[in-house]
């Protein structure tokens, strides 16, 4: 029989609840930002800068969170609960792959193919760099 610390996250109702709660918070924050950040247009295309910024900031924050937790010990107890709540939940709800792809598709279908491709490329490159930056920032000063 496996104990609560060994149980898969998806089989632990308390952890699933933490993911759901965090996801609601992250999604609400993203929706609020989408409403309050002004939309910019360029050459007749609405630029998806809010989603772009959200995803880059979220990648950085996830890098910081996961590296910090990894440096502090095994993925058990409070660290596991924090990881699933803040990482899978809040940051998973805050960042958005589906809106990212929908916005890229909208740009391409709207005749702004090069802008859609640039958006995808910049999102992937800067998201990866942001995650690495978060990992580096969390690990700074540790040897």
Tell whether the model's pLDDT for residue 3 goes beyond 60.
no
pLDDT digits (tens, 9 = 90+) for 11-28: 889 999 999 999 999 999
Output the pLDDT for position 75.
Answer: 93
Query: Which residue(s) pair with 46 in the sheet?
Result: 41
- Which tokens sit at 15? 């952890």
Is 111 annotated in some ligand binding site?
A: no
Please tell me whether 92 is known to bind a ligand: yes
Facing residues of 45 across strands?
A: 42
Give the chain's mean pLDDT. 93
Task: Give the integer Cα–Cα distance in Å for 94 and 60.
Answer: 12
pLDDT tens, residue by residue, 90-143: 999 999 999 999 999 999 999 999 999 999 999 999 999 999 999 999 998 665
Task: Tell me if 115 sits within 8 A of 107, measured CB to CB.
Answer: yes
Who's near 14: CB < 8 A, 6+ residues apart? 81
Residue 43 has a pLDDT of 87
Q: Which of 21, 84, 90 is nearest to 57 (CA)?
A: 90
């Amino acid at each position: 029989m496996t104990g609560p610390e060994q149980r898969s996250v998806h089989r632990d109702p308390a952890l699933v609840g933490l993911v759901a709660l965090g996801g609601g918070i992250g999604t609400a924050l993203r929706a609020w930002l989408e409403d309050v950040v002004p939309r910019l247009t360029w050459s007749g295309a609405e630029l998806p800068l809010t989603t772009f910024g959200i995803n880059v900031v979220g990648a950085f924050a996830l890098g910081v969170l996961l590296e910090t937790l990894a440096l502090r010990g095994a993925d058990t107890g409070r660290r596991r609960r924090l990881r699933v709540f803040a990482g899978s939940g809040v940051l998973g709800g805050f960042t958005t792959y589906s809106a990212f792809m929908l916005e890229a598709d909208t740009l391409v279908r709207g005749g702004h193919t090069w802008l859609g491709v640039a958006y995808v490329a910049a999102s992937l490159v800067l998201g990866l760099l942001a995650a690495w930056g978060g990992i580096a920032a969390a690990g700074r000063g540790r040897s």
